Amino acid sequence: MSTVISPPSHKCYGEDMPRELSQRELRNESGEIMRALDSGESFTVTRNGVVVGELTPVGRHRIVSAQALLDTDAGLPSIDADRLRSDLDAVADQDPAPRA
């Protein structure tokens, strides 16, 4: 007897909520679960009703060329070091004296 994994029926903030999956379902339906992971679905794994872990798909690694990174950086504004320092000094305590 095989149980078909149905897609999540609810959304939260526009993203799919992870489907709760029991330890038994993980063991018995591993093939279906792996296919669901391949398609981007996430799972929360429980044992005796207690959450013990999460299964999420691994993100695809993308390699960005050095030139593409430099091209992106070229459009950014320059940083004024003196202004940055004064902004940081305005919010951070720079007193080197130890506290009593």
> Per CATH, which fold does 11-55 belong to?
YefM-like fold (3.40.1620)
Matching residue, tokens 């030139």: 67
Single-letter amino acid code for the residue at 43: F
Residues 4 and 30 sit within 8 Å (Cβ to Cβ): no
Distances (CA, A) of 50 to 30, 38, 44, 45, 89: 20, 25, 10, 8, 47
Task: Count Cβ atoms within 10 A of the Cβ of residue 88 and give its class: 0-12 exposed, 13-18 middle, 19 or more buried.
Answer: exposed
The model's pLDDT over 55-69, given as tens digits with 9 standing for 90+, comes to 998 876 678 888 888
The model's pLDDT over 11-56, given as tens digits with 9 standing for 90+, comes to 444 456 789 999 999 999 999 999 999 888 999 999 999 999 999 9
